[in-house]
Amino acid sequence: MKLILPSLFLIFCTLTDTYSQITASFYTNSSGSKFAVGYNINERFWTDLRIYSDTSIDNITPEIVINHNIVTKTSYDVYLGAGAILNNINGVVIPIGIGIKPFENLKDLSFNIEFNPIYEFDLDNLFVRGFLGIRYKLN
């Protein structure tokens, strides 16, 4: 099960030949951080495969999300998403965020502020987290 979602994500990325661009991201908060590789399906929809960095190799915790840019402007994007997190935490995640693009000549770079509630199935509980991040579209 641990390799099924990342494998499906990679297959999806290689079969889609629309607008698409690969992205790299880093998110952090006071309790940890996560690295992400993403794929822009088009201007409105994008995916992320996020791996938490504060876990051991045996307990890698992937989070896969699909996001929708609700508002797209030249200097910022507001997005809402849905996804799943597996292994150390098993549940549903709903990322809500804004990607701020402060540099006119670097439109592929954004600084993200993300509100990230998770419903954890094993504990039957809702966790609310926030992340600061940086995201870059690779051409």
CA atoms of 33 and 133, how far apart (whole Å)? 9
Query: Which CATH number is 4-138's, of 2.40.160.20, 3.20.20.120, 3.40.47.10, 3.40.50.720?
Result: 2.40.160.20
pLDDT tens over the chain, length 139 residues: 444 544 554 555 555 544 558 999 999 998 888 899 999 988 899 999 999 876 677 778 899 999 999 999 999 999 999 999 988 789 999 999 999 999 989 888 999 999 999 999 988 899 999 999 999 988 7
pLDDT at residue number 83: 96
Residue 115 one-letter amino acid: F
For residue 73, with 0-12 CB atoms within 10 Å meaning exposed, 13-18 middle and 19 or more buried, which class applies? exposed
Phi, psi of 10 (to 5 degrees): -65, -40
pLDDT at residue number 2: 46
CA atoms of 86 and 61, how far apart (whole Å)? 6
